[in-house]
């Protein structure tokens, strides 16, 4: 039996624009998904104690069943099972053991589909644990690449490498197309607000694509996000929090113009700004889910706790440790 964990992430800058080749800077946070894998004769049994999937167990033979029969929302089960299924397929491939069966237990502190990279964290931890269980050690680059292939398969070719690379390596990373690298970052005082919801990543990405094709100024907005990310990298290297905050605010405004914010995300962003945060923006695909703010005082946290529509607010320090072998 092997257990691995991997961190979730926030986008400091650059989601959506990264899909069109602009750079993005995701940062790993100290909220982890832990996956335990035990080899067994055949088939796959998955048990999840996730924040959103409040406890379900599925047993089926992946060779003969497309999806299990379950009393839970289809979209959530499909999403969770899709990632685990593909992660297991990658492990079988890496170990050249196409028939290997597994018992998988997923335990995640990261809300599902909320812009905190829960699917990437589960995928990275699952591939790491399953390959080790089969006696194969993948280096981090190979692991990040296989995790990307999983996300890409589940998200119908719409995934960037940002989430999976960040979750594997930890810390702050810079992703531009296939060029992924770790970058230096100071310990940033992230405060996260969560509205309890989730956006539909595929639909949101498609919406931005349509706007970008229809309006030149929407394409300009995407390119402007790329410009601010390049400035943001310099601010990050200089440890200039005030500038990082201003750029986060600008980034949120452009994402909002591209139609991927929501009433609750905007309310949380404004609550954070009014409380004195250096900056605040939505993180991830949008439509619902989480905002990230920078504030070293407790003001933003308190303001978010009192914001209607904010279900949970918490601090999340930068996690410099990526995927980790737990046992």
The CB-nearest residue to ligand PMV is: 284
Measured from the CB atom, the residue of 18 and 138 that comes closer to ligand PMV is 18
The phi-psi region of residue 81 (left if phi > 0; otherwise alpha if psi is between -120 and 50; otherwise beta) is alpha
Considering only residues 13-42, where is the footprint of ligand PMV by CB under 6 A?
15-16, 18-19
Q: Candidates 33, 205, 268, 282: give the one binding ligand PMV (CB under 6 A).
A: 205
163 in catalytic set = yes
Measured from the CB atom, the residue of 21 and 239 that comes closer to ligand PMV is 21
Q: Candidates 284, 288, 309, 322: give the one binding ligand PMV (CB under 6 A).
A: 284
Beta strands in 268-311, from DSSP E residues, in sequence order: 279-282, 290-294
Q: Could you say which DSSP state residue 282 is in?
A: E
Rounded-to-integer distance, Cα 191 and Cα 315, Å: 4
Q: Out of 128, 163, 195, 295, pick the active-site residue.
A: 163
Terminal CA-CA length for the chain:
8
Query: Binding pattern to ligand PMV, positions 95-134, x when CB under 6 A?
Result: --------------------x-x-----------------
Burial 234-273 (b: 16+ CB within 10 A, else e): ebbeeebbebbbbbbbbbbebbbebebbbebbebbbebbb
Q: What backbone phi and psi angles, to 5 degrees, belong to 195?
A: -90, 5
Query: Binding pattern to ligand PMV, positions 129-168, x when CB under 6 A?
Result: ------------------------------xx-xx-----
Using CB under 6 A, list all residues that contact ligand PMV: 15-16, 18-19, 115, 117, 159-160, 162-163, 201, 205, 284-285
Catalytic residues: 163
């Amino acid at each position: 039996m092997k257990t691995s964990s991997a961190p979730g992430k926030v986008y400091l800058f650059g989601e959506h624009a990264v899909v069109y080749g602009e750079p993005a800077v995701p940062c790993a946070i100290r909220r982890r998904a832990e996956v335990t894998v035990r080899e067994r004769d055949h088939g796959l049994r998955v048990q999840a104690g996730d924040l959103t999937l409040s406890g379900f167990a599925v047993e089926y033979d992946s060779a003969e069943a497309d999806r299990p029969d379950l009393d839970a929302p289809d979209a959530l089960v499909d999403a969770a099972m899709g990632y685990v299924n593909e992660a297991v397929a990658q492990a079988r491939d890496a170990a050249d053991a196409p028939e290997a069966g597994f018992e998988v237990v997923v335990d995640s502190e990261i809300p599902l589909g909320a812009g905190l990279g829960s699917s990437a964290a589960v995928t990275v931890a699952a591939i790491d644990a399953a390959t080790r269980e089969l006696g194969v050690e993948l280096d981090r680059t190979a692991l990040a690449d296989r995790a990307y292939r999983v996300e890409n398969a589940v998200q119908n070719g719409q995934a960037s490498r940002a989430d999976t690379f960040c979750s594997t390596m930890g810390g702050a990373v810079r992703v531009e197309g296939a060029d992924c690298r770790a970058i230096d970052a100071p310990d940033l005082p992230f405060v996260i607000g969560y509205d309890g919801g989730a956006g539909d990543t595929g639909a949101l990405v498609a919406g931005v694509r349509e706007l970008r094709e229809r309006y030149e100024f929407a394409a300009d907005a995407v390119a402007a996000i790329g410009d601010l990310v390049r400035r943001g990298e310099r601010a990050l290297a200089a440890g200039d929090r005030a500038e990082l905050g201003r750029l986060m605010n600008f980034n949120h405004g452009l994402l909002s113009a591209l139609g991927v914010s929501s009433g609750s995300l905007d309310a949380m962003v404004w609550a954070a700004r009014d409380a004195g945060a250096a900056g605040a923006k939505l993180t991830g695909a949008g439509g619902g889910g989480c905002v990230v703010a920078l504030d070293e005082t407790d003001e933003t946290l308190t303001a978010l706790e009192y914001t209607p529509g904010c279900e949970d607010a918490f601090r999340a320090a930068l996690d410099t440790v990526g995927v980790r072998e737990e046992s």
